[in-house]
Amino acid sequence: MSFKFQWTGFPPEFSTEALEMLTQALNKGENKPPNLVGPIVAKELDLGSTPPELDILEISELEEDRFRAMFRMKYEGDGYLVLQTQVQANPLRLPSSELPTMPSIGVVAAAQPLVVPMLLRISGLKLNGIVVLAVSKHDGITLVFRSDPLVSVEVHSTFDSVPSVRRMLQREIEATLRSLFQEDLPVIVHEMSVNEIKRAREAKDRERREHIERRQQQIRQQHARADSTGDMW
């Protein structure tokens, strides 16, 4: 049995909040690749137009306000993530002959430590794994991968012209993503869903207060008109 859901039309605040939480997660000590220096900033997130495929394996709870099930999830979408950070050339342990001049970013080979800005684009993400998904109208969304779902990913940067650096970044970003999916993504998804529930409740409360205020104003206007009519007589 397949599970279909709406994937497009995410509000702007969704991307803003997701980028902030991803930035926090990527700068955790155990997540941060050792050869990157300075903060890692998630600059751009696009979930693409292709949703993940979810095949229901087991439904353990199905109530009006709560749903819990186990899925096999596959994803080969067109989403991408852009990160901004810095890399220190010297600790990469590359011979100077392997650090050619790169006019595109103005980097030259140097014997001394050299910290340069770098953009990383993560795309071509392929996932395949078992996920437990629980959706509660009151408590938000809980999503947990039962195993490492990462199949492959493409990592491109301003250092693509240096093969050894490209391989290093590919290896370290893959390791970071594996940790992110199993440890940090469940926290991010849950916190964002709780925040969305809170915003929905606040919007409903605000709408209810505005309705009451409009109704009270209408009553006051009716009383004022009635008093004005009585004075005329």
What are the pLDDT digits (tens) for 187-218?
999 999 998 888 888 888 888 888 888 888 88
How would residue 111 be classed by pLDDT, with cut points 50, 70 and 90?
A: low
Tokens for 91, please give them.
Answer: 């600790």
Task: Give the residue from 53, 52, 50, 47 showing the smallest Cα distance to 10.
Answer: 47
Q: How far apart are CA 95 and CA 109, in angstroms?
A: 9
Q: Whole-number mean pLDDT of the chain?
A: 82
Percent helix, percent strand, percent coil in the chain, to nearest 5 = 40, 35, 25
Helix (H) or strand (E) holding 224: helix 185-232
Is the pLDDT confidence value at 18 over 90? yes
Q: Which amino acid makes up residue 46? A: D
Task: Please report the pLDDT score of residue 74 as a whole number.
Answer: 94
Task: Please report the pLDDT score of residue 230 as a whole number.
Answer: 59
Tokens for 80, please give them.
Answer: 């991408």
Contacts of 151 (CB under 8 A, 6+ apart): 126, 127, 128
Task: Please report the pLDDT score of residue 149 as a whole number.
Answer: 95
How would residue 231 be classed by pLDDT, with cut points 50, 70 and 90?
A: low
pLDDT digits (tens, 9 = 90+) for 137-192: 888 999 999 989 999 999 999 888 888 888 888 998 999 999 999 999 999 999 99
How would residue 89 be classed by pLDDT, with cut points 50, 70 and 90?
A: low
Residue 107 is classified by DSSP as B
